[in-house]
């Protein structure tokens, strides 16, 4: 299979390296230090103390890379509107597009009566992403893996290698089964979902509070969960997100307290948004929090706790140059 990874960071590099090692032709659309590292070293992944690698063809000009069978999008949500026009040259009518990204994707409102017809401006301003990437070619994806880059182009794998894949419109399909088999051969644990939209919302429901709270406080996950007042605030926001999910066909069957138990079992860790603050990177706030508020407004659900979380985190990020000025 001919594969292109758009955004060869922690997750993109993880997926790209494993696919390359398993024998696929994997290129990368990358820029800056990551592009230079890929050109010099190729794909690199360290897991279990062992460094593995494979050759990589990388460019910052997508037209040079040509069309592919699979395009994996692993950029941060805030970068996708700028990157989306560069994805178009990578696509043919048969190409599958797999967004391996955090939060709510740009296509999420398709098929939802309350959201249909108008792009979600938080993640698709002006419809630039949906205009560049045909919805019919998208396969939904949820990533459950802990990875980071210790230097540009070098991915460190801590734990987890599960990918949930499914048709955005729901149900089963041959193309999901075939893609799942390809990813399984590359060493991933694959779950083929018949309702990937709900799976996306469920992961978001768990990450929506922990990520920004850790970012603005500098606290690790266990420290957040050890403060009863903070946990109560997070639980209130999660209940609001659950109510929003009910209105769009993404019902959450758990209570916030159930999710906190699961998170505690993961031990102490730095959520990705805190890692971004420490590295001076812009925050993935819109795809994780802003879009929940936008959807809530469209379906008529009040979200005072989510509003407060968004406002405080956005102000925190703006004062540090980690969120766009507009």
Q: Are residues 184 and 256 in the same domain?
A: no
Which of 2, 203, 265, 270 is catalytic? The answer is 203
Q: How many structural domains comprise the chain?
A: 2
Task: Kindly tell me if the per-residue pLDDT of 62 is higher than 60.
Answer: yes
pLDDT single digits (tens) 249-288: 999 999 999 999 999 998 899 999 999 999 999 999 999 9
- Model pLDDT for residues 5-17, shown as the tens digit of each residue: 999 999 999 999 9
Q: What are phi and psi of 216, to 5 degrees?
A: -80, -20
Which of the residue ranges 53-57, 267-271, 316-320 would you say has the lowest mean pLDDT?
Answer: 267-271
Q: What CA–CA distances, in Å, run from 41 to 1, 136, 275?
A: 22, 35, 25
Tokens 């190409």, residue located: 95
pLDDT at residue 117 in the model: 85
pLDDT tens digits for range 7-48: 999 999 999 999 999 999 999 999 999 999 999 999 999 998
187 and 206 inside one domain: no
Strand partners, 190: 163
Q: Please answer whether residues 283 and 272 qualify as being in contact, where contact means their C-beta atoms are separated by less than 8 angstroms.
A: no
Please give the structure tokens belonging to residue 165: 């894949």
Residues 114 and 240 in one domain: no
Please indicate, yes or no, if residue 257 is contained in any of the structural domains. yes
Residue 326 lies inside a defined structural domain of this protein: no
Same domain, 190 and 218: no
Residues paired with residue 165 on neighbouring β-strands, in sequence order: 141, 192
Considering the domain architecture, whether residues 103 and 221 belong to the same structural domain is answered as: no
Residue 281 located in a structural domain? yes
Rounded to an integer, the average pLDDT of 148-164 is: 95
- The answer on 227 and 258 residing in a single domain is yes
β-bridge pairing 70-73 and 2-6:
parallel
User: Same domain for 170 and 247?
Assistant: no
Residue 168 in domain: yes
Give the domain-ending residue among 194, 211, 242: 194
**Domain end position, chosen among 179, 194, 209:** 194
Residues 6 and 16: their CA atoms lie apart, in Å, by 10
203 belongs to the catalytic site = yes
| pLDDT value at residue 325 | 56
> Do 204 and 165 belong together in one domain?
no
Tens digits of per-residue pLDDT, 185-232? 999 999 999 999 999 999 999 999 999 999 999 999 999 999 999 999
pLDDT for 324 equals 78
Joined tokens for residue 178: 């075939």
Please say if the pLDDT value at position 61 is more than 80.
yes
CB atoms within 10 A of CB 313: 23
Same domain, 109 and 251: no
168 pLDDT exceeds 90?
yes
Whether residues 98 and 118 share a domain: the answer is yes
**Whole-number pLDDT of residue 266:** 87
User: Do 176 and 233 share a domain, yes or no?
Assistant: no
Could you tell me the two tokens for 312?
């405080």
| 63 and 183 co-located in one domain | yes
CATH code, 103: 3.40.50.720
The H or E element spanning position 15 is helix 10-21
Kindly state whether residue 324 falls inside one of the protein's structural domains: no
CATH of the domain at 245: 1.10.1040.10
Residue 100 lies in a domain: yes
**Is pLDDT above 80 for 84?**
yes
Q: Which domain holds residue 53?
A: 2-194
Question: Of 171, 194, 217, which one is at a domain's C-terminal end?
Answer: 194
Residue 325 lies in a domain: no
């Amino acid at each position: 299979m001919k594969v292109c990874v758009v955004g060869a960071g922690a997750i993109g590099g993880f997926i790209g390296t494993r696919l390359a090692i398993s024998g696929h032709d994997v290129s990368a659309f990358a820029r800056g230090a990551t592009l230079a590292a890929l050109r010099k070293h190729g794909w690199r992944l360290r897991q279990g103390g062992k460094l593995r690698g494979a050759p990589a063809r990388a460019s910052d000009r997508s037209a040079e890379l040509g069309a592919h069978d699979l395009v994996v999008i692993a950029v941060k949500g805030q970068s996708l509107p700028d990157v989306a026009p560069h994805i178009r040259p990578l696509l043919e009518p048969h190409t599958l597009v797999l967004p391996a990204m955090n939060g709510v994707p740009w296509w999420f409102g398709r098929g939802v009566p309350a959201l249909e017809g108008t792009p979600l401006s938080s993640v698709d301003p002006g419809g630039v992403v949906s205009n560049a990437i045909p919805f019919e070619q998208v396969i939904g994806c949820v990533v459950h893996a802990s990875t980071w880059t210790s230097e540009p182009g070098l991915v460190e794998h801590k734990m987890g290698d599960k990918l949930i894949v499914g048709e955005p419109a729901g149900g089963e399909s041959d193309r999901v089964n075939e893609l799942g088999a390809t990813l399984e051969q590359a060493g991933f644990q694959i779950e083929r979902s018949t309702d990937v939209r709900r799976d996306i919302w469920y992961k978001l429901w768990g990450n929506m509070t922990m990520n920004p709270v850790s970012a603005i406080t500098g606290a690790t996950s266990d420290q957040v969960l050890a403060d009863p007042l903070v946990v109560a605030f997070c639980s209130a926001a999660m209940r609001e997100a659950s109510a929003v999910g009910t209105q769009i066909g993404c019902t959450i069957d758990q209570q916030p307290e159930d999710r906190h138990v699961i998170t505690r079992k993961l031990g102490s860790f730095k959520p990705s948004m805190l890692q971004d603050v420490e590295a001076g990177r812009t925050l993935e706030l819109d795809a994780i929090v802003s879009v929940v508020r936008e959807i809530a407004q469209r379906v008529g659900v009040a979200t005072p706790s989510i509003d407060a979380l968004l406002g405080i985190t956005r102000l925190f990020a703006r004062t540090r140059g980690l969120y766009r000025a507009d």
